[in-house]
């Protein structure tokens, strides 16, 4: 990572002063906890707003955004530093192709991450989607199989397109809670998380509106329909995830080349089978053989004896 060109984080000056103050305060808190680098991995399906969210956080057009899913096949890491603090955000290509999880794309992402530590995972989807399906589950499962379920202790679910008018009869908060509940159900099942795997607070869900037409408050901050200034809110959720007592995920050779980190127990299977073979199957075979040997002593029961009968 040392050879990486780290630019000064000038994009922060694009934010209104109130936002800048909040961000500097949040990063300052991390520095007090001796965290001077933050590496954020952004994943999800294609076209959900991953790249736009990266640009929104950095405050500049650092990665390409496309309305027509023609994103490059490789991850991109954007690094910016400010006052001794380095922010790395890794944008990745969508994980789905032709209705399936693209294993090759996942493999490329894993190799890209080699020797890096993921401090936070942003799992991105859209707020304005009305259903979750098995494909969502598969995407979560693919992430979990690659990095282990511990990654969800550093996970934040990000819902883009947050400036929406819910369909008739639903207010905004109800729509948001229904959508995040449905998505969290899929995340829990795809990641095979039990209640005790996640902290009491669960995986946080945050809203994002990347559109240039996002409403603003009197301090010129981009706000959600509920009035929350979403950029400082997103960064706060990210810094809280770093301080929640869990560990970042070091992507080492063992993790990317070894067995699925959630299924290490399966390594024991050949030994169990060998044990069964030598201590159970062999014994039964011996018992059968000795039975057969005894039977031969009774000629009236053998086939040879029967064959001569009329
Ligand atoms: P990615 O494939 O997940 O990286 O998605 P992109 O960031 O390239 O976005 C796909 C399209 O959705 C682009 O046309 C973006 O302008 C648009 N988009 C992304 N986020 C938002 C959002 O929060 N609100 C709106 N209205 N459009 C968005
Ligand atoms: Mg993209």
Residue 271 has pLDDT above 80, yes or no: no
- For residue 242, the SS3 value is helix
**111's tokens:** 């190799």
Q: What is the pLDDT of residues 118-128, one digit of tens each?
A: 999 999 999 99
Ligand nearest to the CA of 67: 1
State if residue 228 touches ligand 1 by the CB under 6 angstroms criterion.
no
CA distance 193 to 207: 23
Ligand nearest to the CA of 162: 1
Residue 232 has pLDDT above 90, yes or no: yes
- At residue 286, the pLDDT reads 85
- At residue 17, the pLDDT reads 97
Report residue 296's pLDDT band, with 50, 70 and 90 as the boundaries: low
Residue 302 has pLDDT above 60, yes or no: no
- At residue 2, the pLDDT reads 47
Residue 308 has pLDDT above 60, yes or no: no
Residue 111 has pLDDT above 60, yes or no: yes
State if residue 214 touches ligand 1 by the CB under 6 angstroms criterion.
no
- At residue 283, the pLDDT reads 82
Ligand nearest to the CA of 214: 1
The candidate with the shortest Cα–Cα distance to 119, out of 253, 277, 251, is 251
Ligand 1 atom closest to the CA of 45, numbered from 1 = 3
Please state the pTM of the whole predicted model: 0.84
Chain-wide mean pLDDT for the chain? 88
Tell me the average pLDDT across 177-186: 94
Report residue 38's pLDDT band, with 50, 70 and 90 as the boundaries: very high
More confident residue, 267 or 124: 124
Q: What is the pLDDT of residues 5-31, one digit of tens each?
A: 789 999 999 999 999 999 999 999 999
The candidate with the shortest Cα–Cα distance to 249, out of 156, 138, 146, is 146
More confident residue, 1 or 43: 43
CA distance 77 to 43: 13
Those residues with Cβ within 8 angstroms of residue 180's Cβ, 6 or more apart along the chain or in another chain: 157, 159, 205
Q: How many CB atoms lie within 10 A of CB 61?
A: 12
93 CA from centroid of ligand 2 (Å): 6
Q: How many CB atoms lie within 10 A of CB 36?
A: 13
More confident residue, 149 or 273: 149
- At residue 4, the pLDDT reads 59
- Which of 50, 210, 225, 231 gets mutated to test ligand 1 (max ligand atoms within 8 A of its CB)? 210
Which residue has a Cα nearest atom 6 of ligand 1?
A: 49
Least confident of 162-166, 227-231, 280-284, 298-302: 298-302
Query: For the chain, what percent of residues have pLDDT higher than 90?
Result: 68
State if residue 14 touches ligand 1 by the CB under 6 angstroms criterion.
no
161 CA from centroid of ligand 1 (Å): 8
């Amino acid at each position: 990572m040392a050879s990486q060109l780290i630019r000064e984080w000038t994009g922060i000056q694009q934010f209104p002063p109130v936002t800048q103050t909040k961000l500097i305060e949040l990063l300052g808190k991390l520095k007090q906890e001796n965290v001077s680098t933050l590496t954020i991995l952004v994943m999800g399906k294609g076209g959900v707003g991953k790249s736009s969210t990266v640009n929104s956080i950095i405050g500049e057009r650092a990665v390409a955004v496309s309305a027509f899913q023609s994103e490059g096949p490789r991850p991109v890491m954007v690094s910016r530093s400010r006052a001794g603090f380095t922010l790395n955000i890794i944008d990745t290509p969508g994980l789905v192709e032709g209705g399936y999880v693209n294993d090759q794309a996942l493999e490329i992402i894993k190799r890209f991450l080699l020797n890096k530590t993921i401090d936070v995972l942003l799992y991105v989807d859209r707020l304005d989607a009305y259903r979750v399906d098995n494909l969502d589950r598969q995407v979560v499962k693919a992430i979990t199989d690659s990095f282990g379920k511990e990654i969800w202790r550093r996970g934040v679910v990000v819902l883009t397109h947050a400036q929406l008018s819910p369909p008739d009869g639903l207010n905004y908060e109800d729509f948001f809670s229904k959508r995040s509940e449905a998505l969290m159900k899929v995340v829990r099942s795809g990641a095979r998380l039990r209640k005790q795997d996640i902290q009491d607070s669960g995986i946080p869900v945050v809203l994002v509106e990347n559109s240039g037409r996002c409403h603003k408050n009197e301090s010129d901050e981009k706000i959600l329909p509920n009035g929350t200034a979403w950029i400082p809110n997103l960064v706060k959720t990210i810094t809280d995830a770093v301080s929640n007592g869990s560990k970042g995920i070091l992507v080492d050779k063992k993790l990317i080349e070894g067995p699925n980190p959630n299924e290490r127990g399966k390594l024991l299977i050949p030994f169990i089978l060998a044990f069964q073979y030598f201590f159970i199957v062999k014994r039964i075979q011996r018992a059968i053989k000795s039975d057969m040997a005894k039977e031969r002593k009774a000629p009236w029961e053998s086939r040879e004896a029967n064959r001569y009968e009329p």
